[in-house]
Structure 1
Amino acid sequence: MRLKLFAAAAALFASASLAQPARPPKLLVVISVDQFSANLFDEYRPQFTAGLARIASGTVFRNGYQSHAATETCPGHSTILTGSHPARTGIIANNWIDQSVGRSDKSVYCAEDETQPGTSSTAYKVSPKHLLVPTLGELMKARWPGSRNVAASGKDRAAVMMTGHNVDQRWYWTGKQYSTDLNVAPPAVVAKVNALAAQGLATAREPLETTPFCQTKARAVPVTGGGKPVGTGRLARAANDQTAFRQSPEFDGNTLALAAALVDEMQLGRRADPDLLAISLSATDYVGHGFGTEGEEMCLQLTELDREIGDFLKVLDSRGIDYAVTLTADHGGKDVPERERLAGVADAARVDPALNVSNMGKALMARLGLPGPGLLGEGSFGDMYIDKRLRAGEHDRLLKAALAAYRAHPQVEAVFTARQIAATPMPQGDPVKWTLLQRVRASYHAGRSGDFYVALKRDITPIADTSRAVATHGSVWDYDRRVPILFWRPGVAGTTVERSAETTDILPTLASMIGLPVQASSIDGHCLADVPGTTCPRR
């Protein structure tokens, strides 16, 4: 039995007659589907029949790119509505190390204010403090004071990075309800949606009804490292199981219900100035982490996501709003290596625990006869930091030893020093052709990035302990970089474009669509002339 999330929320919405669209659009709806890789889009595109099918009938860049190396949620969302790479946005990762922070926890969360007393990177005060550039919604508000900049999201970092500092409403799931970091009066519909979400969470969910196509995906695959087998789950859950709730289409359905409710209460798209609604849907990411990308679980998630987005678009249709939709992803994703090996990916493997920054640091410090952890970081790849408490000579000895150790490991593709990265010009042109060093450069921001950067080899999954997650993303490789970029308006014909585009191109393209001037030197992206309704400047 398919989920009826919008049926439960229908009482929140009043009916209205359908009107013919005008130009430019009065409401820009920008949807990010977390971990929706271009590989998944290509695979499931023939199966979509509802919302994703409608959006895919527009202008489709199937070779879109999150061009940078740090293919994580926070950096990816920071590019979508700023037109800039992480090197400019300052959002180099979900978390980075700042040894100057006046607390024992030196890890900094991308969407926190670490100066708040009593906080940590896991118990934080949500803030856009670290985002260094304006978003499209902020630029719209600067040009048209009546414009509204609004977000509904499954994750706080996604909502923050898509809206920025000057925001009208920003709501995101915090475990039991949708909350905000803003000091604003909450719309009445938020309490109603929270009540519906709480009711749903408290009710056990039966297994979803599968489909013939999803049945072809059903194959139990054992997972090494302590995890349970994956591949045949149908997303059932017990009452009040928050993890399973996030790993389900009902999570996205609630976020879309909140977005639709905000459209109505705030009358988005129905005043003189254009509005922006940013929506980040997180369940695909949680399903990917929990079950991988190629099992029955992901198939059921994407089937229901297609339907829920379709229901959301029907709400907008019924309001007579002149709107345009952009859909993309913050990053791609990769399946579990155990299933990949069954599919013939011979090099697919889990990371050697010795590469974890803590294990490597302890081993190197013991070898060098030095005290302390030595190395700081967030895992087995990405930015690595030398402990600043070391003396200059000790620092140099440890850096030299760490570079040699990582470069010698058979699972490591490349290691770049901060000096090497900083000396590399910012890459331009086709992101497909960027070298690994150029991809890392697009993620590098002096003062936040590490002393060196470790890139694992292709098909190495950086998860050894699978008790909490079995698959992930974050690599420099195209399975994590390549994402779909779709532009759609009701009644406007589209096409599929094979050449590459970047998520940084979304801001200038939408700005052109609504007649918003943007200084080219202030962003990294370029207007996409293939999108109807744009007046892109010549390049």
Structure 2
Amino acid sequence: MNLRYVFQAAFLLLALDASAQKKSTSSQPIPRPKLVVGIVIDQMRWDYLYRYQDRYTDGGFKRLLNEGFTAENTNIDYVPTVTAIGHSTIYTGSVPSIHGIAGNDFIIQSTGKSMYCTEDTASKTVGSPSKAGEMSPRNLLSNTMTDELKLATNFRSKVIGIAIKDRGGILPAGHSADAAYWFDDQTGNWITSTYYMNELPQWVQNFNNQKLPKKYLDQNWKTLFPLDTYLQSEKDDSRFEAKFSGTTAPVFPHETSSMYDRDFSILRTTPQGNTITLDMARAAIENEKMGQRDITDFLAVSLSSTDYIGHRFGPNSIEAEDTYLRLDRDLSAFLSYLDSKVGKGAYTVFISADHGAAHNPNFLTSHNIPSGIFPTSAVTKELNAYLAQEFKQERLVLSLMNYQISLNNSLIEKNRLDEDAIKKACIKHLQKRADIAYVVDMEAASQASIPQGLKEKIINGYNRERSGAVQIILKPGYYSGSSTGTTHGTWNPYDTHIPFVLMGWGVKHGSTNRPTGMTDIAPTISALLRIQAPNGNVGKPVTEALLNEVR
């Protein structure tokens, strides 16, 4: 054989091997958006996407629907439907049975002690002399999609949570977040805890120094449009609404400039609470260079003021309508900011809600729709009196919190009482009430004679260590709460039907009406990012929302 050809072949093989080695050692970026922004709108019923749409701008909710993908039939997979569980479930893809956040507050069943969802006395406040910063995600038992992004990028991705409510910022950001910030009523500052850092970054201090709460509250709350054009709402002076403290009626204009002499808590119950939250989100993106690096970042935002306003005024108020019209404009401005700062098509945004809200029962009754208020305190006393007669022991029921009967387990154990007999007595007694549909032993929910969908929600919501022993299911239209405004917490569609809309990088334009769950949000975003689903995830990705090359 000609030696020249042998040397040429050997040289070619060496060149190919060198090229292969070069390719194998070079960094090939995984296709991902530069930034993910998750926006949870507290207490946003699904129908708010459409109820006020005739006056939404083209750049807010309409843009999300017209450019993005909407899962129109997304429902919550558990009871009770409250803020802390909703935020935890959206970001874990899990349910209270697994992730452990069994309520905003829940009772540790072994001790009878009440625990706030993000309570952590080992963590201290950073940014205020108040105790509002003694918080962390330690009570969350599973990880989040934000944690999984951190793991997938060897913790190079930045993750930040922002919300007026501490739980709305802390739980979505997960265990390994760079930061979570929330609002301090006492000072009007954005604060954090020593779980994350020992000192606020200079940019947060600068943001606080702007004194935006005072600026916004001094503007007072006036309607965007003339009062008589709010056709989706009750009259302004409605008996179904609660007035602000110190005022004579729940009517516009709301003189918020005179409502913050002691602290800034009133900001929570104004549309400007949402505005300042998105201001803070912009500041985080700007100063932390989020979405402007060679790695994917994640900003978890929760808009809390919609919940406070809903609780006080209800879903049929001009206040609620005006809030969503203003929020639509705030979202439009925020999306335009993302276009210019990160790049249109370079980021992914999704919106959802932690729960919905019921119509006020008195409002429904005035229109001949069955409804009512469940008198929790009176029923607790009545139930304890009945059990005292049956078992010769006072205060066997600690609480009906979260529509669950939490028993006094320490007392039951100390006196060697029959727990099963006590549960059966509770069920027998409460089933006689006209406002209750079902009373279910949590441990035997799968055998209860109730609709299958309710069984699943009860089982998913039951955490043996942190939930009560018996679940109360009220009749439709009933809730435990005030006679004015509204609340949430039940299994009904008005509390469980939530929006889930995605837009941007990797997202198709379209919609689906097939049943999807709140637990499907985290695996959908995880699939988009090509990362592992959170370690407690029970949901499935909504693959119809993703471009083929992303699936």
Whether the aligned pair in 2 keeps the contact of 1:416 and 1:437 (CA below 8 Å) is no
Secondary structure of the corresponding residue to residue 318 of structure 1? helix
Indicate the structure with greater helix content. Answer: 2
- Would the alpha carbon gap of residues 532 and 400 (structure 1) be closer, same or farther in structure 2, given more than 3 Å must change? closer
Distance in 1 separating the partners of 2:499 and 2:384: 41
CA distance in 2, matches of 1:200, 1:501: 42
Greater displacement, 521-530 / 275-284: 521-530
Is 1:419–2:431 an aligned residue pair? no
How many aligned residue pairs are there?
A: 495
Asked if residue 78 in structure 1 is aligned to residue 101 in structure 2, the reply is: no
2:44 match: secondary structure: coil
Instruction: State the alpha-carbon separation in 2 of the partners of residues 453 and 204 from structure 1.
Output: 45
Q: Where does 1:256-295 land on structure 2 (aligned, <5 Å)?
A: 256-295=278-317
Q: Which amino acid aligns with 1:47?
A: R
Which residue does 2:18 correspond to in 1?
none
Change (3 A) 1:513 1:354: closer
Structure 1 equivalent of residue 3 of structure 2: none
After superposition, the Cα gap between the structure-2 partners of 1:124 and 1:99, relative to the gap in structure 1 and judged at 3 Å, is farther
CA separation of 1:504 and 1:363: change in aligned 2, threshold 3 A: same
Matched with 2:258 is 239
The correspondence for 1:477, drawn from 492, 503, 521, is 492
Quote the residue 1:148 is aligned against.
Answer: 158
Counterpart for residue 137 of structure 2: 128
The 8 Å contact of residues 364 and 371 in structure 2, kept in 1 or not, is answered as yes
- Number of the residue aligned with 2:146: 137
**DSSP-derived class of the 1:441 partner:** helix
Alignment of 1:493-512 (within 5 A): 494-512=509-527
Q: 1:534 to 1:481 in 2, by over 3 A?
A: farther
Q: 1:116 to 1:269 in 2, by over 3 A?
A: closer
2:38 aligned residue? 30
Other-structure match for 2:353: 329
Moved more, 105-114 or 249-258: 105-114
1:23 CA drift (Å)? 5.3
Does the CA-based 8 Å contact 2:77-2:456 persist in structure 1? no
- CA–CA distance in 2 between the matches of 1:536 and 1:230? 53
Is structure 2 residue 464 aligned with structure 1 residue 446? yes
The CA deviation string for residues 399-457 of structure 1, in whole angstroms up to 9 with x for no partner, is 33221111111111111113213779xxxxxxxx8521211111111211211111111
- Measured in 2, the distance between the counterparts of 1:351 and 1:448 equals 23
Matches within 5 A, 1:82-231: 82-101=92-111, 106-113=113-120, 125-145=134-154, 146-175=156-185, 176-181=188-193, 182-184=195-197, 185-195=199-209, 196-200=211-215, 203=218, 205-211=220-226, 213-219=229-235, 220-223=237-240
Percent of paired sites with the same residue: 24
Aligned to 2:428: 404
Cα distance in structure 2, aligned partners of 1:472 and 1:158: 17
Bigger drift between 391-400 and 329-338 goes to 391-400
Residue in structure 1 matched with residue 14 of structure 2 by the alignment: none
Displacement of 1:265 in angstroms is: 0.5
Q: Is the 8 A contact 1:421 1:444 kept in 2?
A: no
CA contact (8 A) 2:314 2:485 kept: yes
SS in 2 for 1:261: helix
SS in 2 for 1:480: helix
**1:356–1:379 Cα contact (<8 Å) kept:** no
1:124-183: CA deviation from partner (whole Å, max 9, x where unpaired) = 831211111111111111110310111111211121210111010110113232111234
- Distance in 1 between the 2:277 and 2:239 partners? 33
Asked whether 1:60 is paired with 2:70, we answer yes
Q: 1:337 to 1:375 in 2, by over 3 A?
A: same
Does the aligned pair in 2 maintain the 1:513–1:535 contact within 8 Å? no
SS of 1:180 mapped into structure 2: strand
* Paired amino acid for 1:30: G
**1:536 shift after superposition:** 7.2
Give, in whole Å, the separation in 1 of the partners of 2:139 and 2:416.
29
Counterpart-to-counterpart distance in 1, 2:507 and 2:401? 46
Give 1:532's aligned amino acid: L
TM-score normalized by the length of structure 2: 0.82
1:295-306 superposed matches below 5 A: 295-306=317-328
| Structure 2 CA distance for partners of 1:123 and 1:362, relative to 1, 3 Å | farther
Which deviates more, 208-217 or 133-142? 208-217
Amino acid at match of 2:304: S
Partners of 1:234 and 1:352 in 2: how far apart?
33
Change (3 A) 1:152 1:123: closer
Aligned to 1:3: none
Q: Provide Cα deviations, 1:228-283, integer angstroms capped at 9, x if missing partner.
A: 99875454424344453211110010010001100010100111211110000011
SS in 2 for 1:60: strand
In the alignment, residue 192 of structure 2 is paired with which amino acid? T
Moved more, 193-202 or 436-445: 193-202
> Counterpart of 1:449 in structure 2: which amino acid?
S
**Separation (CA, whole Å) in 2 of partners of 1:34 and 1:283:** 7
Matches of 2:398 and 2:123 in 1, distance apart?
23
Secondary structure, aligned partner of 2:47: helix
Letter of the structure 1 residue corresponding to residue 546 of structure 2: P
Give RMSD over aligned pairs.
Answer: 3.0
Cα pair distance change 1:419/1:124, threshold 3 Å: farther
CA shift in 2, pair 1:99/1:532, >3 Å: closer
Distance 1:206 1:486, change over 3 A: closer
**Bigger mean CA offset, 396-405 vs 144-153:** 396-405
State whether residues 72 and 512 of structure 2, in contact with CA within 8 Å, keep that contact through their aligned partners in structure 1: yes
> Which stretch of the first structure deviates more once superposed, 444-453 or 485-494?
485-494
For the pair shown, which has the larger CA radius of gyration, 1 or 2?
2
1:349 paired with 2:372, answer: yes
Relative distance call for 1:163 and 1:124 in structure 2 (3 A) is: closer
| Higher alpha-carbon deviation: 211-220 or 316-325 | 211-220
Picking from 488, 494, 513, the partner of 2:503 is 488
